[in-house]
Amino acid sequence: MYELIQAGPASWYIESPAKVGIISAGEKAVYLVDAGGDKDAGRRVRKLLDEQGWTCKAILTTHSNADHIGGCKYLQQQYHCPVFAPGMERAFTQYPVLEPSFLYGGFPPADLRHKFLMAQPSEAVELTDPRFPQEVEPIPLPGHFLDMVGYRAPDGVVFLADCLSSEATLEKYQVSFIYDVAAYLDTLNMVSQLQAPLFVPAHAAATGSIAPLAEINRQKVWEIAQRILDLCAQPLSFETILQALFTNLGLTMDFSQYVLVGSTVRSYLSWLKDSGSLTARFEDNLLLWQQS
């Protein structure tokens, strides 16, 4: 873990729980793609940079989930470098309590205010800031989170953030986090058409052929959607749907899984309702979902 691996002539990644990309900025300087999950991850990243004689010129975040920005504050303090964050992700980077608040739907209890869902705050600027490296191409990857992007390095290597999960992860957890199901499916279709010498997803093995993994992720979305539709053969409340889904998939409920899977199930329900597959009605002051 935390091994430096060459990705292209001028790019690398650090094998870690959420891969950290590295892009050469010339003259022993580099850009980081994300920063690891916490201060300890930031220290490990800095140790690897020091071993290579590199300094961090900027951190290019893909999105604001805590496992990707948790090391930003430490590294920003060490290198006095800018942190770039796309769109709405900037607000969550600067005010990390927004992530557990967003997932829970209100002020989060202490059970959710931990480093896995709430990073340390760091100052961030938009990708439109003139200091953003023009040789790096942002690639919009909506769906998983609010305004997630990937990055294409000058040598062609593409860092894909969280738009794909490994087959093993999908098998273990079944329901991967999705904010906007329709946008996520569009992103998978787009990514399937991309060409690159190497693709580096944050939570799957680097590969030169991304289309097969994109298809596996696409099929899992449709599988979960069908499971929800099948459950809604009779009118059910959200909590009942969530309980049944956990039971049927052999998942274990805790606060973190409740908000991560629960938020995703709400997104599925919205998508299925907007597409006409589900209807929603209020009965005895209870919101019920049912197949159309």
Same domain, 218 and 233: no
Beta bridge partners of 206: none
Average pLDDT of the segment spanning 26-51: 97
Q: pLDDT confidence of 1, banded at 50, 70, 90?
A: confident
Q: What percent of the chain has pLDDT over 90?
A: 99
Q: For residue 284, what is the domain's CATH number? A: 1.10.10.10
Same domain, 46 and 84: yes
pLDDT, tens digit, 9 for 90 and up, residues 146-203 = 999 999 999 999 999 999 999 999 999 999 999 999 999 999 999 999 999 999 999 9
Same domain, 96 and 118: yes
pLDDT, tens digit, 9 for 90 and up, residues 103-120 = 999 999 999 999 999 999
Q: Which of 223, 258, 281 is the last residue of a domain?
A: 223
Same domain, 52 and 189: yes
Same domain, 209 and 237: no
Same domain, 126 and 233: no
Which pLDDT belongs to residue 31? 98
Same domain, 137 and 202: yes
Beta bridge partners of 24: 30
**Are 86 and 44 a contacting pair, CB within 8 Å?**
no
Residue 31, both tokens: 């850009």
pTM, two decimals, is 0.96
Residue 209, both tokens: 């052929």
Same domain, 196 and 274: no
Q: Which of 223, 258, 283 is the last residue of a domain?
A: 223
pLDDT, tens digit, 9 for 90 and up, residues 255-271 = 999 999 999 999 999 99
Domain holding 10, by residue range, is 3-223
Same domain, 250 and 133: no
Q: For residue 218, what is the domain's CATH number? A: 3.60.15.10
3-state percent breakdown (helix, strand, coil) of the chain, nearest 5: 40, 25, 40
Alpha helices in the chain, H assignment, sequence order:
39-52, 66-69, 72-79, 89-94, 98-104, 167-173, 181-193, 211-231, 238-249, 255-274
Which pLDDT belongs to residue 158? 98
pLDDT, tens digit, 9 for 90 and up, residues 200-224 = 999 999 999 999 999 999 999 999 9
Q: How many domains, the chain?
A: 2
Which pLDDT belongs to residue 51? 97
**Are 144 and 165 a contacting pair, CB within 8 Å?**
no
